[in-house]
Amino acid sequence: MEYNFPVTRTTNPKPRPEDETKLGFARYFTDHMFCMDWDEGIGWHDGRVVPHAPLLIEPASCVLHYAQMMFEGMKAYRTADGEIQIFRPDMNIKRMARTNERMCIPELPGEILLAGIKAVIKEDIDWVPTAPGTALYIRPFIFGDEVSFSVLPAKHYRFLIILSPTGSYYAANDGGLHCTRIYVQDKYIRAAKGGTGYAKVGGNYGGGMRASQDAMKYDCKDVLWLDAAEHKYVEEIGTSNAFFRINDEVITAPLDSGTILPGITRDSVIQLLRRWGVKISERKLSIDEITKASEDGTLQEIFASGTAAVISPIGTLNYNGKDYLVADGKVGPVAQKLYDNLYGMQTGKIEDYMGWVYKLGLKA
């Protein structure tokens, strides 16, 4: 279906960030956003591109009280010849459907997500950054805004897409990889079986902030979560999935518990490692196995994977008051190769030999 969303251009364009090498993560937002509404009996309607501006929201809206919402994270890249492309949007569409089902949010057809992204990026195309390590972060989200205190799914929803020119989530935005310190959290938990761990919902992150704040006290950038039942097996990192290379086996937590966010970068890492003949296992891995490997010298690499994090190597784990060094604390070869290949394909610097890139048909 062809969508022709009406556009209201801003009359007050913002100054562009002065230095693309100092963007940070989601500190700047573009001039426009996409909005659409859902009403019972009508479905999704009135898609439109409007100036990025604060929303008017009734204080009794259910999302502000019961957090019925979902979001996605994607990125757009500009190739050397000005083509704008995104990465594996079919995976975001599938994950969005699973999240919406879990949260009783009406299904959003994937073609609307893609058409909305294209419509809003078309207006803000000159905001897509080009400095090494940068991208235009795309944040689609849906929330229920029915005025109701009943703990029941809303009868009215809003869907928005906002855009932010962005550098790396954790480290210096210089296009290079740098190691991060991570705090192993064994008091609080992120997700339990039957909960919303596999869904992309704000509550998973809001509930993790206590732990992230504690991690900062130990000079750590984020938290490595352990399983809810035994506080023994590694699950994921605050913003991303986690990979461990021990004795030439790369290990990541399996998805079958329903507590792990099925990251698109996670899936891409697994596929690339299989293609390269690297041993990759989706299996339970205990924190004790990791600390032992650090001590006996077999812990070769740890890295985080995610849309925001891309591939972020981890140089030190802080657990139970002790620092565990990952190899020599420097960026490992597997993390570096993954980063170079993923970001290379995304930005068109290397051939998309996995067929993962989706061109928006827009040229800057």
Shortest reach from residue 239's CB to ligand COI, in Å: 4
Shortest reach from residue 73's CB to ligand COI, in Å: 2
Q: Indicate the residue type of 50.
A: V
Binder among 17, 73, 116, 332 for ligand COI (CB under 6 A): 73
DSSP strand pairing (135-144 vs 234-237): unpaired
For ligand COI, which is the closer residue by CB, 75 or 293?
A: 75
Q: What tokens were used for 135? A: 């991208």
For ligand COI, which is the closer residue by CB, 92 or 294?
A: 92
For ligand COI, which is the closer residue by CB, 26 or 278?
A: 26
Task: Pick the piece of the chain touching ligand COI (CB under 6 A) from 37-45, 176-184, 300-308, 330-338.
Answer: 300-308
Under rule CB under 6 A, residue 191 binds ligand COI: no
Largest interatomic CA distance in the chain: 63
Contacts of 150 by beta carbon, 8 Å cutoff, 6+ apart:
62
Helices 264-275 & 333-346 angle (0-180, nearest 10) = 110
- 112 in Cβ contact with 106 (< 8 Å): no
The candidate with the shortest Cα–Cα distance to 313, out of 324, 297, 329, 295, is 329
For ligand COI, which is the closer residue by CB, 205 or 358?
A: 205
- According to CB under 6 A, which residues from 301 to 360 bind ligand COI? 306-308
Q: What tokens were used for 356? A: 């993962």
- 341 in Cβ contact with 269 (< 8 Å): no
Binder among 28, 141, 205, 218 for ligand COI (CB under 6 A): 205
Cα distances from 150 to residues 51, 61, 306, in angstroms, run 33, 11, 35
Shortest reach from residue 171's CB to ligand COI, in Å: 14
Total interface residues for ligand COI by CB under 6 A: 6
Under rule CB under 6 A, residue 223 binds ligand COI: no
Q: Where does this chain bind ligand COI (CB under 6 A)?
A: 73, 205, 239, 306-308
